[in-house]
Amino acid sequence: MPLTVGVEEEFLLLDPESWHSLPLVERVRAALPAELRPASRHEFRLSILEMVTPVCTDLGELRGHLAANRRAAAEAARRTGVRLVAVGATPVAEPDRSVAHSPRYRAIARHYGPIARDPALCGAHVHVGVPDRDLAVRVCTALRPWLPLLQAVTANSPFAGGEDTGHDSWRGIAGERWPGIGPTPPLDSFADYERTVAELVASGSMFEPELVWWYARPSLLYPTVEVRVADACPTSDDTVLLAALVRGLVATLSAEVRAEKAAPAVPEHLLRAAHWNACHTGLAGTLTDPLRRTARLAGDMIAELFTAIAPALAAHGDLELVQAGLLRLRDEGNGATRLRRAARSSGGLPGALHARAEETAAP
């Protein structure tokens, strides 16, 4: 039985002249076709639109929903006077950093202060269905050493303040100012998860349980493992590749958990170093392998990931899709590489963001 998969994609709403982020999400949602409004959500920041797919088992079906969501949202944005752009961090500026109009969001903003007024960040969140939450928690623990690689593969936010940050994923660097964002702690049951979250809320560092935004977590709403480490992906094909890799990992690690194979111990300092390095270098150089405790070429680590999950990919009918996606990734680079390349050849950052807006909505 194939594991189900669903995706939440966050997009920035940018002014087509200044490329500043604009707080127009409610107007854009109102401009969506009526049948797609239920698939849209506003986030903490009013310059972000989130679009959600239905639960799918086939990745072709998933891609169809992703593409339809993007086309409709891009057209609604155009009618509102903004552009929908798939990038992981505010690339130029966000003059209005007000939060969504709800008592909860205002309370969160008061609790976290200036952190809550940082420029907006956008991710792609993949949900993979699992039968119970204890399994979900143990899979999240087993995912820990793999997630820095997924972060490097999907890094797509090299610009901030109108300048190249020198990092492939500024979202990953800036996001860790929030105490709820970071590697998943090693946990062995849902009761362990609930106890850990309750301790964090009691400590004051976590405003509420819903603000646990670890890179992988058991969803509080659905019977899924939710992987949140990825930047917003440039195209529907990039998002489908991410979903395939995540589903392959969850399927592979679920089998290992059921077989009582212990998750590998990962030193916390090396895991955090691996995430920082993934955000910094992306796929352009070496990455930190937290299991082997050494630097390795990104291409070698991707090949190792593919070998590890190939049986699960084959069982889901995703093997050829992932092979093609990884070849494209090798030839074209991740989103950060492609955005920098466009900035060099398309009239600087404004030209690159115009091209990315077109790419975001491409069929």
159-212 pLDDT, tens digit per residue, is 999 999 999 999 999 999 999 999 999 999 999 999 999 999 999 888 998 889
pLDDT the model gives residue 220: 78
pLDDT in tens, 54-103: 999 999 999 999 999 999 999 999 999 999 999 999 999 999 998 877 88
- Those residues whose C-beta lies under 8 Å from the C-beta of residue 244, and which sit 6 or more positions away, are 59, 313, 316, 318, 321, 322, 325
Percent of the chain with pLDDT over 70: 100
pLDDT the model gives residue 222: 80
Mean pLDDT of 244-260: 97
Domain count for the chain, please give it: 1
Q: Which two tokens stand for residue 13?
A: 């709403």
CB atoms within 10 A of CB 320: 10
Mean pLDDT of 326-353: 95
Q: Which has the closest alpha carbon to 7: 335, 184, 227, 170? A: 227
Query: CB–CB of 251/143 below 8 Å?
Result: no
pLDDT in tens, 112-154: 999 989 999 999 999 999 999 999 999 999 999 999 999 999 9
Mean pLDDT of 15-19: 97
Domain region containing 116: 5-360
Q: What is the CATH number of the domain that holds 276?
A: 3.30.590.20
Average pLDDT along the chain: 95
* Cα gap 312→307, rounded to integer Å: 10
pLDDT the model gives residue 98: 84
pLDDT band at 42 (very low <50, low <70, confident <90, very high): confident
Three-state SS string over the chain comes to: CCCCEEEEEEEEEECCCCCCECCCHHHHHHHCCCCCHHHEEECCECCEEEEECCCECCHHHHHHHHHHHHHHHHHHHHHHCCEEECCCECCCCCCCCCECCCHHHHHHHHHHHHHHHCCCECEEEEEEECCCHHHHHHHHHHHCCCHHHHHHHHCCECEECCEECCCCEHHHHHHCCCCCEECCCCCCCHHHHHHHHHHHHHHCCCCCHHHCEECEEECCCCCEEEEEEEECCCCHHHHHHHHHHHHHHHHHHHHHHHCCCCCCCCCHHHHHHHHHHHHHHCCCCEEEECCCCEEEEHHHHHHHHHHHHHHHHHHHCCHHHHHHHHHHHHHHCCHHHHHHHHHHHCCHHHHHHHHHHHHHCCC
* Cα gap 319→324, rounded to integer Å: 9
pLDDT the model gives residue 190: 93
